[in-house]
């Protein structure tokens, strides 16, 4: 028996708003499934789809898992994503080459330095 990595499930207070926000950040198409969950469709080779599930509670602690993204131009991507509504967060990272941001519901993610 084998397992296939099919999707990443993300709890959200407002699954519709957060799913649409990440769709804009990633440039991936999205739709709403029969259960009312928002599905981001990963392009071929980009990994699994993302599924945003509505939950009644807000995020209250640091993520136990997060996403790292490597752009062509770190500064430009940080500015673009902050312009879409992300915010800088300090999780104790100090002075590092990556930038820690949070999405509108507070989920942390990193934008790494571009490959040299």
pLDDT class for 93, splitting at 50, 70, 90? Answer: confident
Please choose, from the candidates 1, 3, 27, 32, the residue with its C-alpha nearest in 3D space to the C-alpha of residue 16. Answer: 32
Q: What's the predicted TM-score (pTM) here?
A: 0.89
Residue pair 74/99 in contact (Cβ under 8 Å)? The answer is: yes
How far is residue 10's CA from residue 107's CA, in Å, rounded to a whole number?
A: 10
pLDDT at 58: 84
Q: Which residues contact 72 (CB under 8 A, 6 or more apart)?
A: 114
Range with the largest mean pLDDT of 9-18, 58-67, 94-103: 9-18
Alpha carbons within 13 angstroms on the beta-carbon side of residue 93 total 17
The correct answer on CATH 3.10.180.10 for the domain covering 1-57 is yes
What the block records as the tokens of 76 is: 């430009």
Beta bridge partners of 12: 54
Split at pLDDT 50, 70, 90, the class of 116 is low
Question: Is 1-57's fold the same as 59-116's?
Answer: yes
SS3 for 18?
helix
Residue 94 predicted with pLDDT over 80:
no
The domains of the chain are located at 1-57, 59-116
Give the pLDDT band of residue 55 (cuts 50, 70, 90). Answer: very high
Fold entry, domain 59-116: 2,3-Dihydroxybiphenyl 1,2-Dioxygenase; domain 1 (3.10.180)
């Amino acid at each position: 028996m084998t397992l296939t990595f099919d999707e990443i499930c993300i709890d959200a207070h407002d699954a519709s708003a957060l799913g649409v926000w990440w769709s804009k950040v990633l440039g991936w198409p999205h739709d709403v499934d029969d259960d009312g969950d928002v599905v981001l469709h990963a392009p071929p080779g980009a990994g699994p789809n993302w599924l945003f599930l509505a939950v009644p509670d807000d995020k209250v602690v640091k993520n136990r898992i997060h996403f790292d993204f490597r752009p062509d131009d770190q500064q430009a991507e940080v500015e673009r994503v902050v312009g879409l509504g992300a915010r800088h967060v300090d999780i104790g990272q100090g002075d590092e080459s990556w930038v820690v941001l949070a999405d509108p519901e507070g989920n942390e993610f990193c934008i790494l330095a571009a490959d040299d």
